[in-house]
A = this chain, B = another copy of it.
Amino acid sequence: MRKGILFIVSGFAGAGKGTVTKQIVKEDEHLKLSISATTRDMRNGEAEGVDYFYVTKDEFQRKIKNGELLEYAKYGDNYYGTPRDYVKKMLDEGNDVLLEIEVLGAAKIKASLPKTVRIFVTPPTAEELKNRLVGRGRDSAEDITRRLNRAVDEAEDIDDYDYLLVNDTVEQCVKDLHSIVEAERMKVKRQVSFISAIKTQLQELNKEE
């Protein structure tokens, strides 16, 4: 069976990564969202194995020690990480996997899984990024300044990515992301068994002639 492709999706806070990745997995049954492990508490409306795998700090530290995480990071008091076995299992089953992750984590995963395809999501302009951060009403003025500051650093890493996905409207952005996923599936290097099959068929057909 064909092994799945791992797609990493990074981007500025406020670029709309979450909306776009949640939408595309609804439209493509062979594309699955990866689920992170976290030590933070479950929030209202969240569910185990849907939004996150919720673990204790002790469990998380054991996972780090045992190499069970492809990458991890600490934000504030909480750990977040990508479970190696969970991702591997989905890929082995032939699913393509979307992993939403920030630039440092993306670099770590690319280093251990070099076939990973990396996509960076950005709004059409910096002004629009600011408008979205203000518009979603989730961050204080101080937070917004901090996020825009971080965006300057993150922008320096875009060159390490394979694709730049400009999120103007969600609908178009989902369509564009789908083009990337479909194109990657058509890469010759990922069609080894089809190519081998058609070569054999052609040889058989020529013998019959």
A residues engaging B (CB < 8 A)? 120, 122, 125-127, 129-130, 145, 148-149, 151-152, 155-156, 158-159, 161-166, 176, 178-180, 182-184, 186-188, 191, 194-195, 198-199, 201-206, 209
Question: What's the minimum C-beta distance from A178 to chain B, rounded to whole angstroms?
Answer: 7
Given A145-B209, A158-B195, A179-B179: A186 touches B201 (CB 8 Å cut-off): no
Q: Is the interface of A mostly helix, strand, loop or mixed?
A: helix
Report whether A198 and B148 are in contact in the complex, using a CB–CB cutoff of 8 Å: no
Given A126-B198, A148-B209: A186 touches B163 (CB 8 Å cut-off): yes
Given A179-B179, A182-B176: A201 touches B163 (CB 8 Å cut-off): no
In the complex, A21→B85 CA distance in Å?
43
The residues of B that contact A165 with a CB separation of less than 8 Å are: 186
Given A145-B209, A206-B148: A187 touches B162 (CB 8 Å cut-off): yes
Q: Copy number of this protein in the oligomer?
A: 2
In the complex, A38→B194 CA distance in Å?
35
Query: Taking each of A129, A151, A165, which has the highest tally of chain B beta carbons within 10 Å of its own beta carbon?
Result: A151
- Quick one: closest B residue to A120, CB to CB? B188
The residues of B that contact A180 with a CB separation of less than 8 Å are: 179, 182-183, 186
In the complex, A80→B69 CA distance in Å?
57
Report whether A164 and B202 are in contact in the complex, using a CB–CB cutoff of 8 Å: no
Given A201-B127, A205-B126, A205-B130: A179 touches B188 (CB 8 Å cut-off): no
- Quick one: closest B residue to A201, CB to CB? B126
The residues of B that contact A182 with a CB separation of less than 8 Å are: 176, 179-180, 183
In the complex, A202→B12 CA distance in Å?
11
